[in-house]
Amino acid sequence: MLPFVFEWHWDLGHVVFHGGLWYALSILGIGMTYVSVKTYFDVKRGGH
């Protein structure tokens, strides 16, 4: 799952599989962070 786990190998299989997983998780994480931060500032500004 992560490069420091003992069975990790720097081969195509690991990079593609785990790269895809982390890519998807990053989009979800960044999206939710953006929404949370924007909400914080919107509420602080009294925008809603």
CB of 16 to another protein, least distance (A): 8
CB of 29 to another protein, least distance (A): 10
> How far, in Å, CA of 22 to CA of 32, rounded?
15
Residues 6 or more apart from 48 whose CB is under 8 A from it?
Answer: 42
CB of 11 to another protein, least distance (A): 8
Q: Is 3 in the site for another protein (CB under 8 A)?
A: no
Query: With contact defined as beta carbons under 8 Å apart, do 28 and 22 qualify?
Result: no
Q: Is 36 in the site for another protein (CB under 8 A)?
A: yes
